[in-house]
Each structure stands twice: as structure tokens, then as C-alpha cells.
Structure 1
Amino acid sequence: MLESYPKIEVEDPFGVPPDTLGLSADEMRRLGYRVVDLVVDRAMRRNQEHAILEASPAELLARLGGPLPEEPGDPDAALELMAEVALSHQQHGDHPRYFARVPGPASFAAILGEWMGTGFNTIAASWGGGSGPAAVEMTVCRWIAELLGMPPETEGVLVSGGSLGNLTAFAVARSENGPGVAYLTDQTHSSLPRDLRALGWAEEDIRILPAGAGLRMDLADLRAAIAADKAAGRRPALVIATAGSTNTGAVDPLEGIADLCRDEGLWFHVDGAYGGPAALVPEGRAALAGMERADSVVLDPHKWLFQPYDVGVCLVTRPAALERAFAMHPEYLKDVQATTGAVNFGNRSLELTRRSRALKLWMSLRTYGAKRFREAVRAGIRTAELAERLLRADPATWEVVTPAQIGIVCFAFRGAKPGEHAAAAKAVSDSGFACVTSTSLQGQSALRLCTINPLTTEADIAETLRRLAAARPG
């Protein structure tokens, strides 16, 4: 049982704050309730706002900038300006018709957790400095590993997103397995080669293979590349597989890659920043079979686990490998070193000063339960399949370029001319009704929908396709 401590008695704790940057208790409550009203009001009408809105630097800086404020101002006016100008001019990833890149449909319980962490000025660097937040992060990492079907010895750390999650995993791979050639494909997210370069990988040790059938890693090509490097006296070290590519949702052959890495003694990393949460449901778990055999896995809960920005998670299946790569023990931190069974999360990544990103995940999982998360993930998969059916039902207008794969479908105008996809996507996005982007798949121009928001309806998909067709030039 947790020990109960007596409250500290202070005189008039809710009076005027002693510091010049404080507010009275009544004013804090009034402004806090105002923030809640602004957020909830916006959530109730988000399907009526622009899916994305942009303005020129000159316009925004004229309204939000100006001289440095020297005297106190009106906080109500500042909140209104923030809501109406600063926060309206952005991509709204939680909009039901935001289909570009990867949406971030944040759940309200997660927002509450984020607010609590900020309001309590929470730090999650060491057990001694934040044992409660550390316990929450330990719990959340275990829950996520369980949701993905990862082995029980899996350990993790929360970071800002996939870019730093993958960088963290690559640093652990290098610490555990040494330097050498890293293998990936031209469909791997563009931030991953940058991560490798930032960690000191030489350009000749970053082997980018052309994707094979279905825009997936080709096992025969991978085997051949490894054999050729070994014959040339180079040392293969790391294979980077994708579980749900950003372009198409394609999943590399994870089981075959896992077998090859085991046989060759290579570190097996899976970038599941987008698609990893598909493993919550049986159809997704089947598509991602083999991910549980990885040495490291990354996913972004601010995508398909419905968290507000930002949060990524790096999971490693080798116990204590994170600490072996990152732990430090300076004299000034000796009083906050972890006790038995505890974790200093500042020793699991490059971040030492770090807020608690786990609170929002913990709050939303406690509030909704894994069952409702599974239902929401399944809805995203089925919405993409619905979009594919609507596209195939109109073959005179559309052709499916890549079928629906864990929440993404790519398609094209029948007989498209250069520039038509980008122009139609821009017209629909500029209208504010929906946000859609074009992409290129091995040289072929296409349009793309990512449909992971559980609020997206069949009518949203149908009307977006109708507007895209109407916006086709000529």
C-alpha cells in the first residue's frame, strides 16, 4: 500500500499568488473554464470548419505579432485571438474529412490527460524526480506492447514521434549489434535515412533497395544485397522493415525478414509509426504477422491510437538494451537513481528533461478500454475498404492504383494527364471541405486517402470523391 503523507499546512493557499506571474484562484478557474469551453465548442463543430486552412506570413504576423508586450494585457482577448487566428490556421488532423498524410484524430480523454500533465508541471525523467509519472509510463509501454502482441520482456520509452522513435531504435541497434550496413526500401519513410545519417551511418552503408511487388521489400533482393556486401567485405547490421507505409499502407514481408535476420545475426527493426496499431484487430494482426519477432518497433500513438500531438513509442525486445545505449550516471543525479524495479526514463533515450507523454495514453485507455480502441481501428480499415468499393463502382472515372491496406487507398483518374491529381487535390483542400493530397507511386501519379478517423462517414467519402471528380481540370 502506498504510504499516506500528511498535508502541508500553509496560510491562505488560495489567496493572491506571491509571484508576479500568478493569477488569483478565481481568475485561474474562470480562464480555465473558458479554455475548456473553447476546446469543446470547437470539437462539436469541427466537421463544419476547414479541414486545413493557411494564410500568408504577412497576414498572420500582422495579427499575432507586433511589438513585445511590455504591460499586462487582457487574457480573454489573447485566448480569443489564439483560438480564432493561430489555432484555426493549421491542418486539423481530427477533422472527419482530413485524409492527407496521416490524420491525428485525438480523443477527448487523452486531451484531459495532457492537460493534467501540463497543469501539474509534470516531469518524467527519473524515478526519484517523478516516480508517479514513471510508473504511468512503465504501465503504458507494457499495455502498448500487449496490444501489439509483443513479447512480455519488451521495454519501451515515449518520445515525440516516429522520427525520434526510429532514431532511438537505431542508436540501440548500433549499441547492441555494432556498426554496419542498414537495409531499407525506397518506400521507407523519408525520415529514417536522415536518422541513420544523423547517427553517423556513412552513405555507402545506407542501402536503399527498390520496392518489389505491391511496393513491399523484396526478400530475394534483400538476400542478394546482404550476400553481395558480405562478399565485398562489408558488415550487414540492420534491416528496417515497414509495417504500413505512409504512401500506401503496404506491409513488408515481416516473417520472412525476421527469419533472414535471425539466420544472418542482423538487428530486425520495424517502423510501425503508421500501421502498427492495426495489430489491435485480427485482420491487422494477420497483415503484421512477424512484427512481434522484431528487436525494435516504433509506432506513433498520435496517429492511429487517437492521441493529441505529440507522442511516439520505441519498443525494444532485448531487456535493458535501452539503458545500455543511453544510461548516464553523473554525480548531480546520484540522488535520483532508480531503485530496484524502477525506471529512469531519462536513461532510455536522448531526452533527459522530458514531460510525461504517457498520461494521455493512460487516461484514454483507462477511460475507453482496449475494446473501444479496437473498434476505432477496425473502423479505419473498413472505411478505406468502403472507399475502394465506391471507386471500383465508377470505373469510367476512377482506377484503383493500390487496394485498401490498413486504412489507406490510392487511386487515379482514368486516363489522367500530368498535373491533374495535384490540381484536383488542391482545389478540394482549398475549399476547406476536405484535405486530400496527391502522391507518386514508382513514377505514377495518384490520389490518396488515409481514413483512420472513426468519425468519417460514408457520406464524407462519397462527397469527397464527387468533389475531386468535379475539380478535375478540363
Structure 2
Amino acid sequence: MLAAASNKYSGFASASPGAVRIENACTQWLASVIGYPETAAGTLTSGGSIANLTAVVAAREARDPDGGGAVYTTRFAHYCIEKALHIAGRGRSPRRQIETDASHRMSVAALEEALEADVRNGIRPWLVVASGGTVDTGAIDPLPEIAELCRKYGAWFHVDGAYGGLFALCDEGRELLQGIDQADSVALDPHKTLFLPYGTGAALVRDGRHLTEAFSATAHYISPLGESEVGPSPADLSPELTRHFRAMRLWLPLQIAGVAAFRAAQSEKLALARYFHQRLSEIDGFDPGPAPDLSVVAFRYVPEGGDADEFTERLLKHLQQEGRVMMSGTRIDGTYYIRCAILCFRTHVEHVDQAIDAIVEGVKTLNG
């Protein structure tokens, strides 16, 4: 509200040094959360899509300026990666879809095989995109091993952590996300994992010079008024020139509530997902899916007779129409699942219990 009412332009240090100081402080804090060194730089974005695009452009300028480099993802990569590659002029880059394990995490052996095959055939590895929490199941790819392969083959290592990357703030999440600090770039969404208002994303690059080299530009009418003491202008680190004061949404809640409150809320969401998965696994007829890495559980109901996909889809529609709980659906390798995503600071154990009650009662209703 303060940012909107003040209508503060935050793109240019000379025009709004206070706003720029706060944005740079926020991006440095985010970088410290995932373990980046002081050489890192970042920019606040409207969300994960622009954060991933920003990282892809930085990777293009650093490692693939003339094109031809290959891209490596799994089938669980968010579709905004495809959009980012297209916008960045790399939509026709050689593409390699890497197989996953039983928990839907990228196979390190399959990645190495693809990298080795490309090098052998004269194709240069350019960009490996790993997930720090997939949309479908919240799976975290094996980040340390992927980082090692990227160093070996000279590929840029990007982690799409828009959903799950900022769980690194709490102890449990930091353990799960080991290796994220080795990525060349990371996309984050504070409006997800820090429970903040929408329009609060972030792109971070381990070597901040790559952001400046990719996005810095100038014109006579907007020359700096002098040396800045507040750090780089956000307009020199991102595609945006005009940008509002979105850093206030991140900075002010941290000042008011303190970091410990956010850590506690994150730990609670991880525990609630494990609790939901455990309870569902104890109820006859349910396939609870893989144990959650983070706070998403993908589950389905398998009736004694009939098609499980059709029944699970009907169950989701029943839940949505009833209106007691909101969940969404997805297909994983053709199989239909319901997604329980626990990521609201107001969600507590009593709400998870209510959701399970609604699911069980929904099954009874559909079974007649």
C-alpha cells in the first residue's frame, strides 16, 4: 500500500536512491538465503516467469551468444522455461529431455550420458535447467551432482526455484536444497514461499557481472547524476526500465514480523505436507504418491472397480464444486493425480484435517 500510494519509481538510483537501496538490500538478502557469495547480484521481478527469462538471457550472453548450444531439462520443467527460451531467441536450440527416477527427479546418469553424447558429436552443452521443487510433485532434482556435471562439461547451471527455492530459509529446506548455491543462476518467487503479495519474484546470478553485461544500457537523457552509494540501478540488471517499488513488499514484512516468523511458517508447511501424505497412506483405496520433498503431495484414489483416472478426476471436480477445499489436478505420464499444495501462512493442521475429511467424504459420495 505504501509503495502504491507513494508511486515511487525504483529503476534508477539517481531518481530514487532510497528505493534502490532497499531493492539491492533485498536481493542481497535473498542471495544469502540460498548461500550465494557477495559477488552475486539479483533483480526483483513480477514473478517466476520473468525471473527465469532474466536468467536465460544472462546465460545466453555468458555462454551461448552465437547460438547452437544444447539445452537439458526434464519433462517436469515449468512451461515458462519453454517460453523464456523462445523469447530469448533460443527456442530452436538442440533440446535434450532427461529421464527421471521413481520420485520424478532428474537422473544424473541420464544427464551425463546426454552431455557426453553431445560433446562426442560436436554439439556444445549450454544450459542445464534443474528444478528446486517441481509444480507437479514438489520434487527437487539432485542439485550437487548436476552442478558437478555442469562444471565438467562447461554448461550453465540454472535452478528454477520459483516454487521451492526459498525453503532454503528454514533448516529442513536448506538440507533438502543442498547444491542450490552452486547454480550459476536461480529463479525465486517470494510471493510463493515467503507468503508475500503477488508480483514479487527474483532472479539471482552467482557472478553478478553476467546480469550487468546482459542488461546494462544507457541514454543521454538518463545519465547518472553522480556516483551512487546505494549500489547498481535495477534497470541495469533486468529487462525492465520502468519498474515500481516492489521491494517494499519484501522488505517491510521482514522488518515487521522478523525472519524467524517466516522460517517457522515454512517448517510448518513442510511438516503439514508430510502429515497429509502419512494420513492418506493409512486410508484404504488411496495412492498417496511419492513422499513429498517439499509441500506438494500428488495423490489419487484407486477404486476396487472402474477407471482410477476417471474416478480421481471426478473426485477433484466434486471437491472444487463443494467449495470446502481448493485443490488442482495434473497428469504425470498419463496418470491423473490431485495436487494438494500447502503454501499459505494461514494453513494449519486443523485445515489439513478438514481437507482429508472432505476428500474421504467425497469418495463416499461418489461411491454412492
TM-score, normalised to structure 1, is: 0.73
Please state if 1:141 is matched with 2:27. yes
> What is the one-letter code of the residue matched to 1:449?
C
User: Which has the higher Rg, Structure 1 or Structure 2?
Assistant: 1
- Separation in 2 of the partners of 1:148 and 1:280? 7
Counterpart among 197, 202, 212 of residue 313 in structure 1 = 202
Partner Cα separation in structure 2 for residue 256 and residue 342 of structure 1: 34
In 2, distance between residues paired with 1:210 and 1:380?
29
Cα distance change, pair 336–225 in 1 and its aligned pair in 2 (3 A): farther
Change (3 A) 1:168 1:337: farther
| SS of aligned partner of 1:259 | helix
- Report the equivalent of 1:224: 113
**Counterparts in 2 of 1:193-204, with a 5 A limit?**
193-204=82-93
**% same residue:** 32
User: Within the alignment, does 1:418 sit opposite 2:309 as a pair?
Assistant: yes
What SS class does the counterpart of residue 384 from structure 1 fall into? helix
Match runs of 1:369-448 below 5 Å: 369-394=258-283, 396-415=284-303, 417-448=308-339
2 CA distance for matches of 1:459 and 1:469?
Answer: 15
User: How far apart in 2 are the matches of 1:182 and 1:144?
Assistant: 27
For residues 162-191 of structure 1, the C-alpha deviation after alignment (integer angstroms, 9 at most, x for no partner) is 111000001001111123111110011111
* Residue in 1 that maps onto 2:76: 187
Q: Tell me whether 1:455 sits opposite 2:341 in the alignment.
A: no
Contact 2:161 2:186 in 1 (8 A): yes
Q: Is the 8 A contact 1:187 1:211 kept in 2?
A: no
Instruction: Give the letter aligned to residue 411 of structure 1.
Output: F
Offset of residue 378 of structure 1: 0.3
- 1:258-316 per-position Cα deviation (integer Å, ceiling 9, x unaligned): 11111111111111000111111222111110000111011101101111011110011
1:205 pairs with one of 94, 97, 101: 94
Match of 2:45 in 1: 159
Q: 3-state DSSP class of the match of 1:405?
A: coil
Is the CA contact (8 Å cut-off) linking 1:337 and 1:344 kept in structure 2? no
Aligned to 2:55: 169
SS in 1 for 2:198: coil
Deviation readout 1:205-240 (Å, 9 max, x if unpaired): 232223233101111111111122222221111111
Tell me if the contact between 2:71 and 2:96 (Cα under 8 Å) persists in the aligned partners. yes
Q: Which amino acid aligns with 2:5?
A: G
- Greater shift in the superposed pair: 141-150 or 120-129: 141-150
| Equivalent residue runs for 1:50-61 within 5 Å | none
Deviations 1:337-387 (A, max 9, x none): 763662111111111000011111100111111111100100110110110
C-alpha deviation, 1:335, in angstroms: 4.0
User: Deviating runs (4+, > 6 A) in structure 1?
Assistant: none
Asked if residue 245 in structure 1 is aligned to residue 131 in structure 2, the reply is no
Kindly provide the amino acid, as one letter, of the partner of residue 237 in structure 2: R
Q: Which runs of 5+ in 2 are unaligned?
A: none
- RMSD over aligned CA atoms reads 1.6
Among residues 226, 246, 265, which one is paired with 2:154 in the alignment? 265
Equivalents in 2 of 1:223, 1:374: separation in Å? 35
Contact 1:298 1:314 in 2 (8 A): yes
Shift of 1:470: 2.8
Letter in 2 for 1:158: L
- In the alignment, the residues of structure 2 paired with residue 272 and residue 300 of structure 1 have an alpha-carbon distance, to the nearest angstrom, of 8
Partner of 1:351: 240
Secondary structure of 2:16 counterpart? helix
Contact 2:20/2:230 (<8 A) preserved:
no
The number of residues matched between the two structures is 359
